């Protein structure tokens, strides 16, 4: 007597689109730290005032973005997973680096020691941002067939990192120096990047709620 074999397929649980969450975490953290770099509202030492972003960098920009990236793996979105996990790691690295417990310093502290020490720190920061400039340039190439909103985010982020790289390789960003000018430029570019990232996140949220009001992201072919 033939025996029937029933095969039950368990449907994979639906996963909400994690991109708006990841973009929001990236945008807010970038906005606050970039405001310090641009000396917008904050008028003091960019490093010292940037410490206000440490909590955001560790938990919102870092941990939440990392979670969004892991969810993108479940969505089979290689680009989203790579971007969110990587920039989540970036913000966690920033949080650890700027925390006094791990050697975080203000510009006053940097210039109080030996000049060689300050030069080494600025060169190290320049190399750090150079690495992220290269990575962001590569990720920008991956956006070219997505939509203009996402292209704008990564293009401006690339320019942000490039300006910060030039600034820190030019020396410690003290008042009246070219280094500080470039860091300020990087800060303003970062603010614009954050605004476009928020726009893109809101477009995703509105699309998910099927709201009558939608924001265009201008898909590419």
Helices (H), 11-62: 19-37, 46-50, 54-55
Q: Distance between CA atoms of 192 and 40, rounded to whole angstroms? A: 13
> Across all residues in the chain, what is the average pLDDT?
88
Q: Which residues pair with 119 in a beta bridge?
A: none
**Residues in Cβ contact with 98 at an 8 Å cutoff, skipping those fewer than 6 apart:** 47, 50, 51, 54, 57, 104
Task: Look at the block and give the residue holding tokens 């990232």.
Answer: 197
pLDDT for the residue 5? 40
Low-confidence winner among 58-72, 78-92, 207-221 (lowest mean pLDDT) = 207-221
Q: What is the DSSP string of 158-190?
A: HHHHHHHHHHHHT----TTSHHHHHHHHHHHHH
Of 153 and 14, the structure prediction assigns the larger pLDDT to 153
**Residues in Cβ contact with 179 at an 8 Å cutoff, skipping those fewer than 6 apart:** 122, 167, 168, 170, 171, 172, 173
Annotated domain spans of the chain: 19-204
Phi–psi pair at 219, nearest 5 degrees? -60, 145
Average pLDDT over residues 52-63: 93
Q: How confident is the model at residue 118 (pLDDT cuts 50, 70, 90)?
A: confident
Residue 193 is encoded by which pair of tokens? 């990047």
The answer to whether the beta carbons of residues 106 and 98 sit under 8 Å apart is: no
Q: What is the DSSP string of 195-217?
A: HHHHHHHHHHHHHHTT-SS----
The answer to whether the beta carbons of residues 92 and 58 sit under 8 Å apart is: yes
Q: Distance between CA atoms of 149 and 199, rounded to whole angstroms? A: 8
Q: Distance between CA atoms of 22 and 85, rounded to whole angstroms? A: 9
Q: What separation in angstroms does the CA of 150 have from each of 27, 49, 200?
A: 12, 29, 7
Q: Inform me whether the pLDDT recorded for 101 exceeds 60.
A: no
Q: Distance between CA atoms of 171 and 21, rounded to whole angstroms? A: 36
The answer to whether the beta carbons of residues 219 and 200 sit under 8 Å apart is: no
- Dump pLDDT digits (tens) for 142-157: 999 999 999 999 999 9
Of 100 and 161, the structure prediction assigns the larger pLDDT to 161
């Amino acid at each position: 007597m033939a025996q029937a074999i029933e095969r039950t397929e368990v449907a994979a649980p639906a996963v909400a689109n994690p991109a708006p969450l990841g973009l929001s975490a990236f945008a807010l953290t970038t906005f606050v730290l970039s405001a310090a770099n641009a000396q917008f509202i904050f008028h003091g030492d960019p490093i010292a005032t940037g410490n206000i972003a440490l909590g955001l960098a560790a938990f919102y920009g870092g941990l939440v973005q990392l979670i969004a990236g892991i969810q993108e793996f479940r969505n089979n979105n290689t680009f989203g997973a790579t971007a969110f996990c990587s920039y989540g790691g970036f913000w966690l690295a920033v949080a650890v680096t700027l925390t006094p417990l791990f050697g975080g310093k203000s510009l006053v502290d940097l210039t109080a020691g030996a000049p060689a020490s300050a030069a080494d720190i600025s060169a190290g920061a320049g190399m750090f941002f150079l690495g992220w400039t290269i990575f962001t340039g590569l990720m920008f190439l991956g956006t070219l067939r997505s939509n203009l909103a996402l292209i704008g985010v990564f293009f401006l982020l690339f320019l942000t990192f490039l300006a910060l790289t030039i600034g820190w390789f030019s020396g410690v960003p003290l008042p009246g120096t070219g280094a500080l000018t470039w860091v300020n430029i990087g800060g303003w570019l970062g603010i614009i990047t954050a605004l476009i990232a928020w726009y893109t996140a809101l477009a995703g949220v509105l699309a998910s709620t099927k709201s009558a009001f939608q924001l265009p992201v201008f898909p590419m072919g």
